[in-house]
Amino acid sequence: MRITPPQDVGTSVPFEGTVGSLITRIAAVEERGPGTFEVLRTAGLEGPVYIVVLPGTQGSGLEAGNPFVDAGNAEAVLLDSRYVGPAVARALEDSGAQPGDRLMVAGYSQGGLHAMNLAADSGLAATYDVGLVVTVGSPTGWEGSVRTEYLHLEHANDAVHGVDAAPNPDEQHRVTVNLAHPVPKLGEGPDGEVEGKGLGPAHKLANYAEGARLVDASLLPSLAPAASLLTAAGVSGVASSRMYTAERIPATATGPAPRDRHGGGKGRRRAG
């Protein structure tokens, strides 16, 4: 895997330490182009906090060099993010992250699958202090690390988060927010008819931005741990952004095959 260093190193962007601000950064990554992900650096209450922001699926397998095409879903589920993991690790090093620094990972759709893998004890958590994982519209029904807080946003009309046929574990350090606010059909007027299940408006990032607003306004005790971590990371109200472009390099006939970083992903619940 090859990553292209950012052209606009250290660009200051707003980051208020909310779920909504994470959705805003995911949207910025999605707009940037194929293969792009982001590393944010914030001045937290107890030192720097790095935040990795991962996009959803970006096109088809015809774009073979982009690790976030539809084939990237299989890489995440079956190969524990074999390509995306090393790319993110190199980007963190390039961004100045040091072993033991605090880290958060946020991902939308396919990006949420990679976020779960990267935060595993045998992933980035072996180097960094991974405090929080936020996934948006992602199928994440497998075990996580007991040292990390998890916040999952899922909408009732979005079928994507259910494709693994496994509900998220109900654990003390893990919260799944089941959103049910009305989702208009594309092009619909204000009279309120809502769409059915599928890959339409319910899976759109704009729909989850509305869900994030509801989460940020909530006072539910179960949301407090994630909210506290985000607030501490966003205390300055700004972050330094580095956008990286990842490109998967085809293996040569004589080169070694990539190794599975997590030993085959033991313990994971897999989609049927």
What local confidence, expressed as pLDDT, does residue 61 receive? 65
At 241, phi and psi to the nearest 5?
Answer: -105, 135
The residue whose two tokens read 């970083």 is 261
Q: Residue range 186-205: average pLDDT? A: 60
Residue 261 has pLDDT above 60, yes or no: no
Each residue of 193-218: b (16+ CB within 10 Å) or e? eebeeeebbbbbbebbbbbbeebbee
Q: Average pLDDT, stretch 48-54?
A: 97
The pLDDT of residue 114 is 96
Higher model confidence: residue 186 or residue 99? 99
Residue, of 221 and 254, whose pLDDT is higher: 221
- pLDDT value, residue 255: 41
pTM of the complete model: 0.85
What pLDDT score does 186 carry?
Answer: 54
> What is the band of 185 on the pLDDT scale with cuts at 50, 70, 90?
low
pLDDT of residue 251: 57
Tokens representing residue 136 in the block: 């948006």
In angstroms, rounded to a whole number, what is the distance separating the alpha carbons of residues 109 and 196?
Answer: 19
For residue 130, give the 3-state DSSP assignment: strand
| Residues present in the chain in total | 272
Cα gap 53→194, rounded to integer Å: 30
DSSP helix/strand/coil, 230: helix
pLDDT at 184: 66
Contacts of residue 43, Cβ cutoff 8 Å, sequence gap at least 6:
49, 235, 236
Domain range annotation of the chain: 2-247
